[in-house]
């Protein structure tokens, strides 16, 4: 993922703030997974090239758009189900 940019839309950014206030460990896990994104099946994220729904942690999912030409990942939506 070196050289890729990850953009958070407003809703995911606000959700990450809420996660950070409630659970520092979960916040760290979600951030680490965003930095190391892959589809967990061995295909590098730069081969995706479209809208994807991914599990970032047991209680957090995200809707992403991957643009391999621009080397960007837009986090469009983040869903967190607090325990």
Determine the Cα angle at 4 with ends 59 and 32, to 5°: 30
Amino acid 39: pLDDT: 46
33 contacts 57 by C-beta, under 8 angstroms: yes
Q: What tens digit of pLDDT does each residue of 23-80 get? A: 999 999 998 888 776 544 445 555 666 788 888 899 999 998 888 788 788 889 999 9
Q: Which domain holds residue 28?
A: 5-39+48-80
How many domains, in total, are found in the chain? 1
Beta-bridged to residue 66, according to DSSP, are: 73
CATH code of the domain containing 67: 3.30.2310.20
Query: What is the chain's alpha carbon radius of gyration, rounded to the nearest angstrom?
Result: 12
63 contacts 52 by C-beta, under 8 angstroms: yes
Amino acid 78: pLDDT: 93
């Amino acid at each position: 993922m070196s050289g890729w940019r990850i953009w958070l839309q407003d809703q995911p950014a606000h959700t990450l703030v809420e996660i950070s206030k409630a659970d520092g460990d979960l916040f760290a896990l979600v951030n680490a997974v965003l930095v190391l994104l892959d589809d967990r099946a061995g295909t590098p994220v730069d081969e995706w090239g479209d809208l994807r729904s991914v599990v970032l942690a047991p209680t957090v999912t995200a809707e992403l758009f991957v643009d391999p030409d621009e080397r960007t990942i837009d986090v469009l939506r983040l869903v967190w189900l607090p325990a």
